Structure formats: C-alpha cells, structure tokens
Structure 1
Amino acid sequence: MDLIRRSLPAAALALGLAAIPATANATVAPAPATANATVAPAPANAAARSDAAEPVPAVPPDLRSVEVTFRGEGGLTFHGSVLSPATAEPARPGIVLIHGAGTGTPRTKLMGEAVEFARRGMSVLIYDKRSVGYSLFHRSYSQLADDALGAVAALRSQPGVDPAKVGIWGLSEGGWVAPIAASRSKDVAFVVLVGANGLPPLRQQTWAVAAGLRKAGVSGSLVDRTELNLYRAIADGGMFPEPYYDPEPTIAAVRQPVLAIWGTHDLLTPPLESPPVFARALQKGGNGNYTFRFIPDADHAAHQTPDGGVTRLPALAPGYADMVGSWVADVTNGRPPTAGPAGREPVQDSFTVPVIPPAWWESAPVQLAMLILFVVAFAAYPLTALVRRLRGGSRAPVTRAARLVSAGGFAAVLGSFSYVFYLVMSGGKLATTGPVLAGRPVIWLVLQALAAVSAVATVRTALAWRRARGSVPRGERVRLGLLLAGGLAFIPWAVYWGLLLP
C-alpha cells in the first residue's frame, strides 16, 4: 500500500512549493583568515558521516569568523562559522541561526542576518543545513532540532561566549524546529522566531498557494476545492513531509523567553492567525515571557520588500536587527521582555481552512487507480479504431458522441492535472495563471468546457448504445463498455476536482 501511495504521478513536483524560501543572501566584504575549532567528538560509528562543507564565507573587516564543526542527530558532522565583533566583549551572548525549508541550504543564505546580529554584540553561529535524511519527500523536525542543539553546544564552547546566554533563532520552517529544540534543552537561553507558523504545515501550505492564486485574481472551484484536494492527495501519497504536525503542544512546553517576529507582508505564513496560536500555547504552558513584533513593509523573512511581499530584497527591514539585538541583551541580562504584540497589524487577505486527511475514496491509491482507468478507457477507443483501419477494416461508431467522450475526457484529465501542478509550483506569493476571465483562468475555463462536453457526450453515448444494443457486435460492446466506464466515473471525479463546478 505504501508503494502505491508513493506512486501518485508527478506529485513530487507539487511538493517543491512546500520548501518555503529562507532569507536572501547579503553581499559582504572579504574576510581575514579564520581559525578552526572542532567541537563534540564524533561517536565511533559516525566517523565517516559528514555533510559536504560549503565554502567558508567572507565577513566584513569589523567582524571576525571562526570555523567550527559539530555533531548533529545521528552523529552527522556539520560545518559552520561563528561570527563575532572584531573587538568582542567578554561573556557575550550567542545565537544559533536555524534555516527555513530546503535541503542542504548553505550557511551563506543567512549571512545577512549573521552579520547584522554580530554587529550588535553577539556571537552568531550559521551552519550548512543537512542534506542527509532531508528531501522533498522526507524530513523530520525532531531531527533538525537535534542538529540545532549540536550547534548550540558548539557555540556555548566558544571562547568569550557566555554559555548561559546562548539562544536560537528560527526562520519559517525553523519556527517549527526551534521550539522543539528549546523544549528539549535548558542549554537554550532564549528563542527568536521569524515568520513562524503556529498551524500544521499542510494547512499553512494550502493557504499560501491559495492566497497566491487569489492575489492573481482567481476565485471559484480552482482555488476553493482543486488546490486543496490536490495537496491532500499529495500528503496521502507520502509526498509531503510532516503534513499534520501540530506545533501547539511543543510551543506550550517552551519555558525560555520568546521573541516572535512577523513581517506585515508575509505571504507564506498567515501572519494574523499565527500570533494568537503562539500566545495561547505559551500561556497554556505558563510562559508569559514572550514578545511579539510586527515589522512594517517586511516580507516573510523580515527583509525589505518593494511590492507587498512578492519580492525579497537582500537588506533586512529597518529596525529589525536592532530589535533582536536589544531584546537579546535585555533577556540575557535579567531584564524581562515586554509582553504582547506591537507594531502595525499584518496584512492577510484570506484565512486558512482546516485540512483533514482524505477518506478512502479520496486517497492517493484511489486517485491513481482513477487516472489509470481514464487513460486506458479514453485512449483505447481511438487506438482500437486506428488498429482497425491499419488492418483494412472499419466500423461506423454507434454515435459520434463517443469520440467526444474520448477526446474531451482525455484532454480534461491530463490537462487539468498538468495545469494544477504548474499552478501549485508557481502559486506561492503570486501565481502565474495566464489570462483570467471572470475570476477563472482562461486555461481552466477551457478545461472545464472539455469536461462538460465529455460528461454530456457520455450520457448521449450511453443512450445511443442502449437503443442499438442488439445490433452492436461483441468487440464493439467491449470497446464502448470500457469507454462508458471511464466516462461515467469521470463525472463524479470531475465534480470532486472542481472541473464541473463554477
């Protein structure tokens, strides 16, 4: 059954959008030579396990960098850099930066944040994200949390860093990972979250793509039903990691001070719905040491954006780094953080909807079986006619409507899946739909018309066959029977997928 579930054709393509981008790279000046430090000796059975190291990043002349290695979950060796002020104060705080989604993301992806945080008196550890055991189809937030704790241990051992003042910062997917790490270890002194999501991953992802479609002017069944059902099938097929992970219990287990930040133009995480979830969970766990901040004119990663969150500029939003630096200084020096939210309310044009696992008849194996039925039923009809012609024989069809069933159904099935997969790949932030007419992409309208033609032609073919049943040869009955089986199954299938709905 697992093999069948994983066979849902092309579902892997749609999952690519689940990898929410992390922050953009920052341009920095060349750095002086850096020292090496090896942390946490490897277990004997893990000596050969190591992710490839990315090139050592350059840092500006007002900072210094130390290269470190450490062990993550499973004994995997990680490579990172610790950035500190060139004239760093002793007993300074430290912060480990946890990436957003993406396999093997290089540490330089977070270089902009690392540089700015280091300039505010912290030692900042950035590391190359794991590629071993992490892919579009498989990932574990628990595993990533253990990797982060390995980085915490590495930073706590650095000269000049106060081990009691080392915290973690998580972006996007890291907003699920960081609370797990913090709930597991008292070595984490504080937690900073950016673009964090208090909802299950699948619910967040369906919202992000649907919001991108709506931003492109799309409404109706395509955005309300088709996109949602596609992601449910993808998750059921095992192609969407951790789809129903509930972060609330873990957030409730966090005892450290928390700073959570959302850009007012976050298009990838619902910025209005997530803060109340975090507040409710933290209060449930008895943690009142949290601060929420909304950064004006900032995107998902608290970077500047010129177009409402669609485009991410390399520069951090004004005031963001200062906010993090001063908050960390306060909490690590015993001053309680300011509770509650502050800043302009974020923009969220639509709200998320619950995403429940599919029933058996909606499941990935059933959808795969339906696709096979449609391809065989709709393609066999013209192929049989072609074979007959090549053999020198032909037979008048019972009704010409049968050709419409075959052609319309085949085009509607393959066309709709191809188009919807394309949309979910481009649907985050702003979908590329092609021309839109009355809230429907023209391509979708054409596919809906083909589906309607096939449905009507199926009924006409069934009636014509019934009238001429006694005169239809056996071979033609088999051919028509297969076609009608596909056509009759296609009608409820097309309703489910929104092809026969407004």
Structure 2
Amino acid sequence: MPPGLSSTDVSFKGFGGLTLHGTMLAPQKASRPRPGVVLVTGSGSGVPREHLLTEAVEFARQGLAVLIYDKRSVGYTRFRRSYSELADDALAAVRALRAQPGVDPAKVGLWGLSEGGWVAPLAASRSDDVAFVIVVGGNAMTPIRQQLWNETSALRRVGVSGSLIDQGKRNFARLGADAGLFAEAHFDAQAVLRRVRQPLLGVWGSRDLQTPPGDNPPLFARALERGGNTHYTFRFFAGADHAAHVSPDGGVTRGAALAPGYAELVGSWVRDVTSGRLPNADAPTPPEQDHPSTPAPPSAWWESAWMQLAAFVLFVVAFTAYPLVAVVRRVRRRKVTLVGRWARLLAGTGFLAVIGLFFYLFYLMAAGRSPDPGSVIAGRPLPWLALQGLAVAATVSCVATTVTWRRAAATLSRGEHARLALLVIAGAVFVPWALYWGLLLP
C-alpha cells in the first residue's frame, strides 16, 4: 500500500443476495469525514478489483475514500448481462462505503468506466444516496452503436472502407442483437440520463479508440438538459486512451499512468460539488474523432433474424438441391443443357457467397479490435472482393438461367421445370439479399 493511505476490506450484498468483496482506500489522516466514490469497472465477467487499483490510489491521494470491488461473474456472460443488476451492485457498494468510519455519507458518488458509464448513471437515477456521477469513456448512445464504431474503426485503421463497413458489419451486428447474441444492445442510455439529477463529470481521452469521444459529449449534454439537469462538466485529455490513461501509441496500448491532471480534476471537482459549488453546463468543444458513429436501430420485420433465417434456408435448399440432382443425372449420362450450365453456376456461386459472407463477418466480429481482414485493395479486403465477385456471378447467372429456361421450356420435363423454378426463386431473393449485405454495392 502506498505511504499515507489505508486499506480496508469491505464485503456487501449485491443483486440477488450475491456477496461481493472489495477494498476501501483512503488517506490515513483526515480532520473531518471525507467524500467517497465507488468505482464501477468496464465490461467483462468477474473483473478483479485490482483492475482499477491505479485509479483508486490516485483518487485516494486527492483526499477521497475510494471503494473498488470484484465484479460479479454470476449472471454475467458474453451473451447475458443486465445493467440493472450491475446498477444494484453499485448501489450496494455505495451503501457499504457510506457506512465506513471517516466517510461523509452525504458525499458519496459513483465513477463508471466504459460499460460502467452506462451502469453508474442508471444507479444514480434510482437513488438519492448518490451525491454525484463521474463517467470515463462513457456513452450516451446504445451499446450496439458504440461497439459497431469500435469494430469498424479498427477496420478503417487498416485501410478498409466501403460496403463491408457500411452494410456488412452494421447489419451483422444488428442480426446478432436480434438473435440475442448481444446483451443490452439497445439499452436506452439517453432515457436514463434524463432521469439523472446529480452533478455529472464526463471525462474522455482524445485518442479513445473504443468510445466515440466526439459524438458522445453532445449526446450527454442533450439528454441531461432535457431532464432539467445543467450541472455537468466535460473534460478531454489530449493523447489519452479510453480509460484516460497515457497511451504510448495513440490509444492502441494503455499505459500504466493516468493522464496528467486527471486525478487532480476528479479530486477538486468532487470537493466542489459536495460542498455545494455546482457547475453550470461546462462543456468545451469535444475532440475530433477519426470517423462518425452510425445509428444501429433494431431491425425491421423484413430484415429480422427470422427473415434472414428463412432466406438462408431457401438458399441452402435451392443452391444445393440443383447440383446434387445434376450429379445424379450425370451419373445416369443424361444430356447437359445450356440451361443446366447456367443453373449450376448460379447454384455454386450463390451458395459460396452466402456461406462465405457469414463465415467472414463472424471472423471479423470475433477479431474485435484486432482484425486482420486480409490484403486490402482500394479499401476492399481480398476476401470481401472475392465474395462480391461471387455475388455478381450469381446475379448474372440468375438472369441467364431465367432467359435460357424460357427459351428451352418446351423441351424440358416437369421435374426440370420444378428444379429451375426453385433455383430461380432463390436467385431472385438473393439479389436484394446481396444488396442488403453490401455484396452488390461498392
């Protein structure tokens, strides 16, 4: 423990009666009860309290009693989490800190990093016990919009542009949310902020590569003021990363130290607001960000997960059935017609485009902020160009199959007509599907 600070183990009951364990750091000597702050960490299951030890030490050196605690792993997974439950955990931590000797219970607030920037305001909106709110790398937008910006920015940094980002990545993220694979995807952060009455400090690093540092501050201000709250302060730290740490490489790698002046800002701001000196809409111009974020609303019925599944089943059935029957016909040494050649090309290219699209987008999603999309030519990765080539070939083959089928209609059997009808229907559906996913767009 750094000299001049004390450390006290604290346990409390969070949501559902789960026992959570933490540590309070505070100055050893104080002439009067001190303000306190509970630190709420970012995303991840079971994040240990040590993850925020640097912040806790530096804030304690500013005269605050600081509580850090182990984040829950119960009920929190990649596909299931509840900001409401996490907010209840945070409020339980506030109650525990308010009860500690040497802490002024009227001056205890919440600090939230990243995901905690959604959780801390939600907790504050539920309780007058919270004296103030601090968000670092916080979002006043939906989690899906933030995550989409995060992932597409990583692709842009390696030279990717165009329909892969504008259509493919965006629609794949929305599909995942529709399928329940993106917990809290459409959490309404602005509705929560409109209910926050406590003074709020927002901190962003100018090189935040995970949260849009230019888009979010105006969204925060708009939501707070619509709720009648003008007691907010925004500050931006040049060259700092998502957590307002010094970054040696423009935000890609997090340094150990906090940005110069950040801890001092927190200390002085908390002392001011807990002494009745409230800020009044103190919001300088936010830093420029490399690319704007894009709204990602819930899917309409025609693009929903169920409609995508129906289209996928149609493609798999139609694009595999025709060549399988063709193989049987070839074994039986039936004559191969011009219609059959175009139809098999449609089936082959369509099937590969559909399967390849989902495999490639899933690979990019799994890569997160460290993508390797392949060699990039004119903003398009080679795998994406290959998928686009397949989609163009399938579209041309669909037209050619339809034309040659009509010309040869009188010579074809009833079974051949049925096979071609199913295939052409799948091809006709494939065209708008490929446009939706960006395979037929630049």
TM class by shorter chain equals over 0.9
| Farther off after superposition, 215-224 or 446-455 | 215-224
- The aligned amino acid for 2:155 is L
Are 1:489 and 2:429 an aligned pair?
yes
Could you give the per-residue CA deviations for residues 322-352 of structure 1, whole angstroms, max 9, x where no partner exists?
211222222233433475135x842312222
Task: Output the CA distance in 2 between the equivalents of 1:60 and 1:398.
Answer: 83
| Farther off after superposition, 213-222 or 489-498 | 213-222
Aligned to 1:97: 39
> Any stretches of 5+ residues in structure 1 without a counterpart?
1-58
Q: Which residue, 330, 341, 352 being the options, matches 2:293?
A: 352
Task: Output the CA distance in 2 between the equivalents of 1:101 and 1:395.
Answer: 61
Aligned pairs (5 A) from 1:45-444: 59-60=1-2, 62-87=4-29, 90-337=32-279, 339-342=281-284, 345-387=286-328, 392-399=331-338, 400-428=341-369, 431-444=371-384
- The aligned amino acid for 2:288 is V
- The aligned amino acid for 2:348 is A
- The aligned amino acid for 1:73 is F
Task: Output the CA distance in 2 between the equivalents of 1:397 and 1:83.
Answer: 80
Aligned to 1:455: 395
- SS of the residue corresponding to residue 254 of structure 1 reads coil
- SS of the residue corresponding to residue 366 of structure 1 reads helix
Does the 8 Å CA contact 1:385/1:394 hold for their aligned counterparts? no
Higher RCO structure, 1 or 2 (CA under 8 Å, sep 6+) = 1
Displacement after TM superposition at 1:167 (Å): 0.9
Displacement after TM superposition at 1:309 (Å): 1.8
Does the 8 Å CA contact 2:217/2:286 hold for their aligned counterparts? no
Does the 8 Å CA contact 1:156/1:162 hold for their aligned counterparts? yes
Does the 8 Å CA contact 1:89/1:121 hold for their aligned counterparts? no
Could you give the per-residue CA deviations for residues 269-327 of structure 1, whole angstroms, max 9, x where no partner exists?
22122112222232333333221110111111111222222222232222211211222
- The aligned amino acid for 1:213 is L
Label 1:473 to 1:119 Cα distance change in 2 as closer, same or farther (>3 A): same
Task: Output the CA distance in 2 between the equivalents of 1:125 and 1:394.
Answer: 79
Label 1:124 to 1:471 Cα distance change in 2 as closer, same or farther (>3 A): same
Instruction: Give TM-score, length-normalised by structure 1.
Output: 0.82
Displacement after TM superposition at 1:127 (Å): 1.3
Label 1:127 to 1:478 Cα distance change in 2 as closer, same or farther (>3 A): same
Does the 8 Å CA contact 1:266/1:298 hold for their aligned counterparts? yes
Displacement after TM superposition at 1:260 (Å): 0.8
- SS of the residue corresponding to residue 23 of structure 2 reads strand
> Any stretches of 5+ residues in structure 2 without a counterpart?
none
- The aligned amino acid for 2:149 is W
Displacement after TM superposition at 1:86 (Å): 4.1
Aligned to 2:407: 467
- SS of the residue corresponding to residue 341 of structure 1 reads coil
Task: Output the CA distance in 1 between the equivalents of 2:112 and 2:355.
Answer: 40
- The aligned amino acid for 2:58 is E
Label 1:70 to 1:387 Cα distance change in 2 as closer, same or farther (>3 A): farther
Q: Percent identity?
A: 59
Aligned residues: 440
| Farther off after superposition, 455-464 or 376-385 | 376-385
Label 1:153 to 1:209 Cα distance change in 2 as closer, same or farther (>3 A): same
- SS of the residue corresponding to residue 108 of structure 2 reads strand
Displacement after TM superposition at 1:155 (Å): 0.7
- The aligned amino acid for 1:121 is G
Displacement after TM superposition at 1:87 (Å): 4.2
- The aligned amino acid for 1:152 is V
Label 1:62 to 1:383 Cα distance change in 2 as closer, same or farther (>3 A): farther
- The aligned amino acid for 2:91 is L
Task: Output the CA distance in 2 between the equivalents of 1:134 and 1:238.
Answer: 14
- SS of the residue corresponding to residue 204 of structure 2 reads strand
- The aligned amino acid for 2:393 is V
Task: Output the CA distance in 2 between the equivalents of 1:73 and 1:116.
Answer: 29
Does the 8 Å CA contact 1:78/1:128 hold for their aligned counterparts? yes
Task: Output the CA distance in 2 between the equivalents of 1:404 and 1:357.
Answer: 35
- SS of the residue corresponding to residue 340 of structure 1 reads coil
